[in-house]
Amino acid sequence: MNAVIVDPQVLRSIHRSELRKKILMYLSEIYPSATYLSEIARVVGSDPSNVRGALVGLGNRYNGESSLVYLGLVEEVSNNGFKYYRLTDYGKKVVDYLKEYYRYYRRFM
């Protein structure tokens, strides 16, 4: 596995939200493709407003500084007035790191 330096704030944000984790894992599965908000919500089994909060922040409930876009894990792409979301290269490296991390720690549970 290539060494990747993961910001502790990124790990904290992911570990504090099961929804952010699910979104990252789904976007990793379709990487490098982008998809739209309601498709992500359908796949991860959550409300679109909650998914939007996890992606870009939303009031008090979802801190913008903990959002996946703010942390550089996901990028928002606009095309013909529509917004799509795609894992960044850094986001892909973080997801790969997390998969390895969980595989390692599962041995002790």
Q: Are 72 and 55 in contact (CB under 8 A)?
A: no
> What pLDDT shows up at residue 35?
98
Average pLDDT over every residue of 71-78: 97
Q: Are 46 and 14 in contact (CB under 8 A)?
A: no
- Cα 102 to the center of its chain, rounded Å: 16
Q: What is the pLDDT of residues 19-31, one digit of tens each?
A: 999 999 999 999 9
How far, in Å, CA of 74 to CA of 85, rounded?
Answer: 7
Q: Are 28 and 95 in contact (CB under 8 A)?
A: yes
CATH architecture of the domain formed by 8-106: Orthogonal Bundle (1.10)
Q: What is the pLDDT of residues 31-42, one digit of tens each?
A: 999 999 999 999
Position 108 confidence tier, pLDDT thresholds 50, 70, 90? confident
Report the predicted TM-score, pTM, of the whole model to 2 decimal places.
Answer: 0.90
Q: Are 28 and 40 in contact (CB under 8 A)?
A: no
Q: Where are the domains of the chain?
A: 8-106
